[in-house]
């Protein structure tokens, strides 16, 4: 009897732990993107720059400071990113097409925002444009998480 009790207890415990693990996986459906420590540091640094620029864009729109909005948007646009050439060489090969499908339109959107604001589009048009840009942040965050790749 004692042995049987032990077996039942062990079975229940295993089942319970297995359920917990399955539950944890269900909770995070994001695909893992494996990056080395330095690649990850670069990507997350870019992410923090995105938030910084969003703040500058929103504040600039609120105070009608078009020059500030245009500069903040251009700073995160694809043109300047390419020109700066700071992206680690290994990184491009890591990005799946779906990732690029969020990243490219987002960068192009910042370029377009800089141009349109300079040309004098209305604040509401700029805000709508910003919303569209940010759908790429939301979409990519729902799709991917970063995991450690061997360096």
Binding site for ligand HEC (CB under 6 A): 33, 44, 47-48, 50-51, 54, 99, 102-103, 106, 134, 136-137, 140-141, 144-146
In whole angstroms, what is the distance from residue 102 CA to residue 149 CA? 22
| Spatial contact of 110 and 77, defined as CB atoms under 8 Å apart | yes
Least CB distance from residue 149 to ligand HEC, whole Å?
13
Burial 116-141 (b: 16+ CB within 10 A, else e): bbeeeeeeeebeebbeebeebeeebe
- To ligand HEC, the closest distance from the beta carbon of 143 in angstroms equals 7
Tokens at residue 70, please? 């245009």
Considering the complex, state which of residue 17 and residue 96 has its C-beta at the smaller distance from ligand HEC: 96
Residue 141: how many CA atoms within 13 Å on its side-chain side? 8
Closer to ligand HEC by CB, 7 or 138: give it: 138
Nearer to ligand HEC, 108 or 134 (CB): 134
The tokens of 44 are what?
A: 């997350």
Least distance from ligand HEC to the Cβ atom of residue 98, Å: 8
Nearer residue to ligand HEC within complex by CB, 15 or 142: 142
């Amino acid at each position: 009897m004692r042995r049987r009790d032990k077996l039942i207890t062990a079975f229940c415990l295993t089942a319970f732990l297995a359920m917990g693990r399955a539950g944890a996986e269900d909770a995070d459906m994001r695909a893992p993107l494996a990056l080395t420590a330095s690649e990850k540091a670069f990507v997350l640094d870019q992410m923090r720059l995105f938030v910084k620029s969003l703040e500058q864009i929103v504040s600039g729109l609120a105070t009608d400071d078009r020059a500030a909005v245009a500069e903040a948007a251009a700073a995160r646009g694809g043109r300047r990113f390419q020109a700066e050439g700071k992206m680690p060489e290994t990184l491009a090969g890591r990005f799946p097409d779906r990732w690029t499908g969020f990243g490219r339109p987002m960068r192009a959107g910042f370029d377009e925002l800089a141009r349109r604001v300079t040309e004098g589009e209305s604040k509401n048009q700029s805000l709508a444009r910003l919303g569209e840009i940010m759908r790429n942040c939301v979409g990519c965050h729902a799709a991917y998480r970063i995991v450690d790749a061997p360096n």
